[in-house]
A and B are shown apart, each in its own frame.
Chain A
Amino acid sequence: MRRTGLLFLLFLILQQYALAQVVITGTITSIDDNLGLPGAAVVVKGTTIGTTADIDGKYKLSVPQDATLVFSFVGMAQQEVKVTTQTVIDIVLKYDVFKMEEVVVAGVASATPKRNLSVSVTRVDSKALEDVPPTSAASALQGKVAGVTIISSDGTPGSSSNIRLRGTNSLLEGESPLILIDGVTFEGELADINADDIENIDVVKGASASALYGSNAGSGVLVITSKRGKFSEESSTDIKFRNEYGGSSLEREIKLATHHPYMLASDYIQPGYTKYAGVTYPAGYAGGHNDSIKGSPVLDYDHYADNPYSSIIDQQKEIFRSGQFYTNYISVASNSKKTTIFTSFENNNNSGIVFNSTGSSRQNYRINVDHKISDKLKISGSYLMTQNEIDKPNDEGSGSPFFNVLHMSPDVNLNMNSPDTMVLKKYYYKPDQWSNGENPKHQLFYEQSTQKRNENLLNFSANWTVASWLNFDGSYSMEKQNVDELLIKPIGYQMDNLQDVNGYEAKSSSEYSSQTAQFTANLQRKFGELVTKAKLSYLFEKYLTDGMVASGNDMLASGLTTLSNVTNSLSMNSAETEILAKNYFGILDMVYKDKYITSLLYRIDQSSLFGPNNRTNPYYRASFAYRLNEDIHLKGFQELKLTAAVGTSGQRPGFYYQYEAYPIVTNSSIIQNGGISANANIKPANTQEMEFTVNSQFLEKFNLEIARSYATTTGVFFQVPQPAATGYKYQWANAATTSSNTWEVTFGTQLIKKKDLDWTINLTFDKTVQKVTDCSAPSLPVGPVINGQQIFRVGKGSVIGQADGYTWVRSINELKQQANLLPAGKTVDDYTVNSDGYVIPKGTEGTYLEKPIQLLNPDSTPKVVKIADFNPNFNLSFSTNLKWKNFGISMLWVWKQGGDIYNYTKQSMYLDLRSGDIDQFGKPDYQKKTIDYYSTFYNLGNINSYFVEDGSYLKLRELSFYYTISDKTIKNLSKSYLKNVRIGILGRNLLTFTKYSGWDPEVSTPGANGSGTTIYIVYMFNYPNYRTYSVTLELNF
């Protein structure tokens, strides 16, 4: 056998040399400027014979007489030319508008052009981020990739967006993908990563593509690569300065009531307050809580909120102001023959839009170095340090400033001083006698709440080429993240009248660190027309967390932050965890005749997070692609590729899932009984995905990619309720099976490509349907806690992102179903449907007796039904880029169609009659509704269908105008080293069209475990998103 193999090899070699050789020369130039493309590649198709162009774009290559030459260059479309009788072949390369030649490294054995991919990996490169540079990596993907759901649920400066790739595979709201930055597994905040340094982001969407990343990649992977210097024969240095300065503001206010239903005194207009009938005010009273007030307001006879206040103050303007932000960025990229260095610094400051908050101040420092020790040995290092100091409101949700500002009556003066007896003089904490609400300005002014985040990412790697077909990679990565938080309520601070006022301080410090080491053998070999690439790899992971928190009361002195300043109720706690994982994998990618493409992968993961009875879990992938137009030349098509892939990846259990442990009570000598039972069998959730893709380029202008993904996740984690008699409330278990299927469509076209005019349009579309197909537990609540309840439900057959709640009878036929539950003596005929479409007792419309009827169970308790589905019907984004001479304009619109929002903010406002809905002033009498009517819908804060709103929106996410002063012009102006100058005007979140009645329809609320989410679309008093507008100046040297 061995001898036969050698003979066959010899035959192949001889066959190569048996063919006549011819020397081809030529020049490879760019269509853009007709200048040579140094470094452009020319390769004999199907072989490793090739060369690169010199500094002028010239090349020379000896090739077989009937060879086909393939010319390529980064960012340019590849071209093939068949050699016949020519000896000179000059080539003009066009830009690769559709990026089929773009080389992807994520999820595959080694660098692979997109056309040879057999799984879904989408690249967003720096060019796509340049026009409207994202403020951080957190928002870099918004609207740019089909199948990526990004929700900026929180406008707090320094907060990250919530990201989901395709369907969710988790019921625990943490569906964010695995993130790798320059090879480092990143667990920090993407908001801390500056986008100016990003070279590209590879979005590895489905489980089949992410199988390479195993048990940590069930939700997909984002591979972020930063910019580096480029090796070149000639030394050079590129310097980029970018400065951006702009403002920010709330796009719109929530409509609030400016009338009330209480009886007025005849002299109701008073300075600082509204005088109600039945109430006696002390002499000199000018507003605010006062224990000397006697009596209480009484309802006006008609119960309509149409009586005036003595004055109308726009309370939202009191806490929201125009903010400002700026970014200063510099990068230097230099290279010598053997070494490249890329280094950068960014300073970003964003004040946000809230009163007395300085927002986020972030600095990023980066250095990336590559060095060739020899032709066979290359080493690289990447280091990123970030620091972000954030000053923000202490709280969101109920009781926060965002809650209180919406609950203040319009006649309340938030700027009034406190009574003389109080220590803190400004913004009296209780400015309204008739409300429990606290003064939001008091909170924002006196509470000090800061967070400091420091992040260090480090990667060392080496590549050793042993032979042309074999090289080794070794890398060591480290992440270290420190988060310090401080909360101070100063001496005298109080939010209710019985609270002690001696000051409170809480300090926490946490450290997260990870270390990974990976060793990889890369093999590539060609067997005839079969090109094979293989990788064998071992990855070791170690993650450590260590956190401490301490707090205390009763400060000795004002203005200090040391914990020794607090003298009472001292409390401390700490926790540390260690997670280990070992992973082994092999991947084999094969391309035959450049048209049959396949990838096979097998991986074994072992992790300390897997229960002791399930320590090892396997993953696999098999994918196949066929470039149809290589065989069947369909007219008008330049590319037509069909892809099918199947693969698995997973999600690791949480640290505590496997332990039968008991909590120790902080600040006491007590070991408590645990509420959660251990599970030694816990194993990673396993996502299996089938993916089918069609990629096409046609009519030289259009690019269309359609992807269909079917994913099933088994062993989804869930806290399964236990019978109380067991002594446990829950057990973590692999309790559910979920499925999702996604349609993704990406369409691009370069409508015009002329010398001075370039117009491109891109559309992305996606639609995901996701549900629970099996569940070992009955239908149970998940997600965020809203007014003491979790409204989202999971159970067999339920939609992921479905909410249950109470609802109302909307027709007489519906009422007939519960006719036996009507009050004694009443029949269905005694009811009618009112003008809002709710069933009410006949003859009560417009009176305080007009109350909608609730849908009931047979035992007369309110019936719980599905009231909302938070999944959109589809997402669509539209981006366009128009360049004319030196001018450029780009815009990005995003459209979310359908998908509900539960507006708990509005429901809560119904309690204090503050929603604009309740204001009846100016309505004709026959349209008026009483506060009793609206209070019925408030329903004591129980979740009900009345507050489900359509979450559709169309948003102008990005808009930019640029003017570029080219190098020629600059050189004419001066003899400086300046290459070009870009001046731009940018806008983000400029316009939103929606029927949603809150501040911004892009909302979600973290789940019970605090993780961000894209599926729990509930609004409850968060820091709102806001618009920004800015000018930018970029200088390139």
Chain B
Amino acid sequence: MKKYFPITLIISALVLTLGCQKLDVPNLNQPEKANLYNDPHDLENFGQGVYYNYWLNERSSNFDPNINILTEAMADQYTASWANFGWLTNSGTPRVAWDNVNTLSNDGVLENFYYGSYGVISQANTVIHQLLIDKVQLGSGGQHNSRILALCYLVQGLSYGNLGLVFDKNFIVTENTKDVTKVTTSPYKTVRDSAIKALWKVIKICDTATFTLPGSIFNNIDITNTTLKQIANSFIARLEVLTSRNTSDNIEIVWDSVLYHANNGITSDFGSKFSGWPYNGGTWYDLNFYYLNLPDWARINCRIINLMDPSYPARYPSSGVAPNVHAGLLPGQASSYDHRLQSDFQFLPSVNFKPERGYLFFSHYRYSRFDKYYLRTGDVMTEFREYENELYKAEAYANLNQLDKANAILNSFSNPRFLRGLILSTPSTSKLNMLKVIFYERDIELLGQGFMLAFADMRRRDMLQYGTPLHFPITGKELQTLQWPNYTFGGTNPVPDGINTSNGGWFDANGKPVDSNY
């Protein structure tokens, strides 16, 4: 036995050594919550990521379906007969109710945006809480606190603003919410007000502190407190205008306030630099540009071509035969005094959509303005165009009956209407015609940009097709989680009320465009 004693000893030692090994294994791949919050450096980086998360959520992260892509078709700005993103179901005629079950193939269209928004809000709230309640100091002596605080309030505001654009009601959770599970829902106007309240906080911080947010946050240029304040003002203007569900809501808009914020808004385009498509390793991208502009995927609705060429049919002929509009041009080809028809749109003589899905989806035009992004030569993807801000000013002036000021903006030679469209004069100085020009410009020049612009512009004029949901219900999955009854909007049964479901429309029984309901 003695000769085996050393072996016994070795085995015993090994068992003891291994048996005492601790089982707490760190996660080396992701920063853990506890460490993140305790380390000002990590917390600052966490805070700096909020805008990126907001951007990605709004623009379809990693090829997930996105509500913005669907509403572009529901607003009859784009057209697509494919089932992807809920296009075919939700952008046909007659319109159907939004199917709010979570078995739908495109339920992610709404779900991704919904949960993503709250994820971003949670991130912003966490950082704000750490800074204000737990008094964490970022940078030397807390010198970075103001800029990160302003950034987080900006994203909190933008996220609630977008939720208010999409849903009929939402949960409002802020850095001061003690128990998130006890929060009840608020209607969309309250959600908008909450967004604006957060954006006002941005403005106030920017008024009292001087800072520069590094360019990496927006994947573009450095943003000073002065510029950030302008950005917050412009977004307030946008939210005040676009949250309207119908003409009744639109009448309630306080145009003085819109004008105030637009006047204090941005003076140059605000956006992030494109860094490549996700399948190429890119991290900053806008999948609205991708899916909506591939020629075989989506095309420009005839309604838009008709705006530029009133002789062009606003709806594709039900015969399926391309319209011969102009002598000397090919079937399906349009002509316009607006040069943007040539610069931003590509004519395609053939349509490879499926006839059996309906000729109403057909179109001979696609949007080619963003083709440079396919080739990864695109630069800034604008989140907020200066021109959009100018158009809010113009719309505010028009509604405040300061028509000369509105006219001055619309006829400015520095505007794309002149620079790109080569349109030299406004047709009239009447308020109605001026508003028509404003919406024309929003349809043509801002096409495919921003969030929900086309859909919001149509609904606030009661111009969405009859039966189109004016906003969306809380997602079926969330209702199921909360064990709340399911509900939905849209369709023709029950009869549309103009509050949750459009009872208006942009064309008459013959498919002819009607005058704006504005």
Asked if A15 is at the interface (CB within 8 A of a chain B CB), the reply is: no
Asked if A500 is at the interface (CB within 8 A of a chain B CB), the reply is: yes
Annotate B331-360 by CB proximity to A: 1 below 8 A, 0 otherwise.
Answer: 100000000000000001111111111000
One of B189-197, B406-414, B478-486 at the interface: B478-486
Known contacts A496-B296, A667-B283, A615 near B23 by CB under 8 Å: yes
Of the candidates A466, A497, A540, A726, which one forms a contact with B18 in the assembled complex, judged by CB atoms under 8 Å apart? A540
Q: Is the CB of B29 within 8 A of A578?
A: no
Residues of A within 8 A of B375 (CB): 498, 500
Residues of B within 8 A of A435 (CB): 352
Interface residues of B in 1-45 (CB under 8 A from A): 1, 4, 7, 11, 14-15, 18-19, 21, 23-25, 27-34, 36, 42, 45
Q: Is the CB of A778 within 8 A of B32?
A: no
Known contacts A577-B29, A670-B48, A861-B97, A931 near B356 by CB under 8 Å: yes
One of B104-112, B223-231, B253-261, B446-454 at the interface: B104-112
Annotate A468-485 by CB proximity to B: 1 below 8 A, 0 otherwise.
Answer: 000010100000000000
Asked if B139 is at the interface (CB within 8 A of a chain A CB), the reply is: no
Q: Is the CB of A661 within 8 A of B331?
A: no
Max count, chain A CB within 10 A of own CB: residue among B101, B181, B357: B101
Give the size category of B's interface with A: 35 or more
Max count, chain A CB within 10 A of own CB: residue among B108, B280, B284: B280
Interface residues of A in 289-325 (CB under 8 A from B): 291-299, 303
Asked if B511 is at the interface (CB within 8 A of a chain A CB), the reply is: no
Closest A residue to B4 by beta carbon equals A464
Asked if B150 is at the interface (CB within 8 A of a chain A CB), the reply is: no
Interface residues of B in 46-63 (CB under 8 A from A): 46, 48-50, 52-53
Asked if B89 is at the interface (CB within 8 A of a chain A CB), the reply is: yes
Asked if B130 is at the interface (CB within 8 A of a chain A CB), the reply is: no
One of B117-125, B205-213, B303-311, B434-442 at the interface: B117-125
Closest A residue to B284 by beta carbon equals A668
Q: Is the CB of B53 within 8 A of A672?
A: yes
Closest A residue to B374 by beta carbon equals A498
Of the candidates B25, B103, B283, B350, which one forms a contact with A608 in the assembled complex, judged by CB atoms under 8 Å apart? B25
Residues of A within 8 A of B513 (CB): none
Of the candidates A569, A671, A805, which one forms a contact with B282 in the assembled complex, judged by CB atoms under 8 Å apart? A569
Residues of A within 8 A of B1 (CB): 466
Known contacts A667-B281, A778-B481, A791-B103, A723 near B181 by CB under 8 Å: yes
Known contacts A662-B36, A672-B49, A789-B104, A727 near B118 by CB under 8 Å: yes
Asked if A943 is at the interface (CB within 8 A of a chain B CB), the reply is: yes
| Cα–Cα, bound, A1021→B351 (Å) | 27
Q: Is the CB of B352 within 8 A of A821?
A: no
Max count, chain B CB within 10 A of own CB: residue among A660, A805, A821: A660
| Cα–Cα, bound, A710→B104 (Å) | 35
Residues of A within 8 A of B45 (CB): 669-671
Q: Is the CB of A778 within 8 A of B30?
A: no
Of the candidates A580, A656, A672, A859, which one forms a contact with B21 in the assembled complex, judged by CB atoms under 8 Å apart? A580
Asked if A279 is at the interface (CB within 8 A of a chain B CB), the reply is: yes
Q: Is the CB of A576 within 8 A of B350?
A: no
Q: Is the CB of B107 within 8 A of A723?
A: no
Q: Is the CB of A781 within 8 A of B362?
A: no
Annotate A690-711 by CB proximity to B: 1 below 8 A, 0 otherwise.
Answer: 0000000000000000000000
Closest B residue to A278 by beta carbon equals B321
Of the candidates A498, A504, A582, A859, which one forms a contact with B371 in the assembled complex, judged by CB atoms under 8 Å apart? A498
CB distance from A275 to the nearest CB of B (A): 14
Residues of A within 8 A of B115 (CB): 675, 724, 729
| Cα–Cα, bound, A669→B27 (Å) | 19
Q: Is the CB of B376 within 8 A of A569?
A: yes
| Cα–Cα, bound, A722→B284 (Å) | 28
Residues of A within 8 A of B53 (CB): 670, 672-673
CB distance from A512 to the nearest CB of B (A): 15
Asked if A517 is at the interface (CB within 8 A of a chain B CB), the reply is: yes
Known contacts A725-B181, A778-B483, A787-B105, A671 near B31 by CB under 8 Å: yes
Residues of A within 8 A of B294 (CB): 496, 498
| Cα–Cα, bound, A740→B371 (Å) | 55
Closest A residue to B355 by beta carbon equals A299
Annotate B175-192 by CB proximity to A: 1 below 8 A, 0 otherwise.
Answer: 000001101000000000
Asked if B267 is at the interface (CB within 8 A of a chain A CB), the reply is: no
CB distance from B131 to the nearest CB of A (A): 16
Of the candidates B27, B101, B349, which one forms a contact with A294 in the assembled complex, judged by CB atoms under 8 Å apart? B349
Residues of A within 8 A of B493 (CB): 821, 860
Q: Is the CB of A538 within 8 A of B19?
A: yes
Asked if A559 is at the interface (CB within 8 A of a chain B CB), the reply is: no
Q: Is the CB of A538 within 8 A of B15?
A: yes
Q: Is the CB of A519 within 8 A of B122?
A: no
| Cα–Cα, bound, A670→B275 (Å) | 14
Asked if A176 is at the interface (CB within 8 A of a chain B CB), the reply is: no
Q: Is the CB of B331 within 8 A of A726?
A: no
Q: Is the CB of A500 within 8 A of B374?
A: yes
CB distance from B349 to the nearest CB of A (A): 4
Q: Is the CB of B106 within 8 A of A788?
A: yes
Q: Is the CB of B83 within 8 A of A724?
A: no
Closest B residue to A655 by beta carbon equals B27
Of the candidates B27, B46, B49, B297, which one forms a contact with A659 in the assembled complex, judged by CB atoms under 8 Å apart? B27
Annotate A895-936 by CB proximity to B: 1 below 8 A, 0 otherwise.
Answer: 000000000000000010100000000000000000110010
Asked if A825 is at the interface (CB within 8 A of a chain B CB), the reply is: no
Asked if B500 is at the interface (CB within 8 A of a chain A CB), the reply is: no
Q: Is the CB of B65 within 8 A of A788?
A: yes
Q: Is the CB of A675 within 8 A of B119?
A: yes
Closest A residue to B297 by beta carbon equals A436
Of the candidates B42, B97, B293, which one forms a contact with A859 in the assembled complex, judged by CB atoms under 8 Å apart? B97
Q: Is the CB of B488 within 8 A of A861?
A: yes
Q: Is the CB of B28 within 8 A of A576?
A: yes
Closest A residue to B173 by beta carbon equals A725
Interface residues of A in 644-660 (CB under 8 A from B): 655-656, 659-660
Q: Is the CB of B32 within 8 A of A660?
A: yes
Annotate A573-612 by CB proximity to B: 1 below 8 A, 0 otherwise.
Answer: 0111111111000000000000000000000001110101
Annotate A712-723 by CB proximity to B: 1 below 8 A, 0 otherwise.
Answer: 000000000111
CB distance from B366 to the nearest CB of A (A): 10
| Cα–Cα, bound, A551→B25 (Å) | 30
Q: Is the CB of B351 within 8 A of A296?
A: yes
Asked if A728 is at the interface (CB within 8 A of a chain B CB), the reply is: yes
Max count, chain A CB within 10 A of own CB: residue among B11, B14, B27, B487: B27
Residues of A within 8 A of B97 (CB): 859-861
| Cα–Cα, bound, A38→B116 (Å) | 73
Known contacts A656-B27, A791-B103, A861-B97, A665 near B52 by CB under 8 Å: yes
Asked if B102 is at the interface (CB within 8 A of a chain A CB), the reply is: yes
Asked if A864 is at the interface (CB within 8 A of a chain B CB), the reply is: yes
Q: Is the CB of A942 within 8 A of B104?
A: yes
Asked if A111 is at the interface (CB within 8 A of a chain B CB), the reply is: no
Q: Is the CB of B103 within 8 A of A670?
A: no
Closest A residue to B32 by beta carbon equals A661
Q: Is the CB of B482 within 8 A of A294?
A: no
Residues of A within 8 A of B482 (CB): 723
Q: Is the CB of A727 within 8 A of B350?
A: no
Of the candidates A671, A729, A943, which one forms a contact with B105 in the assembled complex, judged by CB atoms under 8 Å apart? A943
Q: Is the CB of A296 within 8 A of B488?
A: no
Interface residues of B in 293-320 (CB under 8 A from A): 293-297, 320
Residues of B within 8 A of A436 (CB): 296-297, 352
Q: Is the CB of A661 within 8 A of B49?
A: no
Q: Is the CB of B42 within 8 A of A789?
A: no
Asked if A48 is at the interface (CB within 8 A of a chain B CB), the reply is: no
Residues of B within 8 A of A671 (CB): 31, 36, 42, 45-46, 49
6 closest Cβ pairs, A-B complex: A727-B122, A571-B281, A940-B83, A673-B123, A661-B30, A660-B33
Q: List 12 A-B contacts (CB under 8 A).
A: A294-B322, A295-B322, A464-B7, A497-B295, A500-B374, A538-B18, A577-B28, A664-B30, A669-B216, A673-B120, A675-B119, A725-B180
Add 4 more A-B contacts to A668-B284, A724-B117, A911-B354 (CB < 8 A). Answer: A296-B362, A668-B283, A727-B125, A778-B483
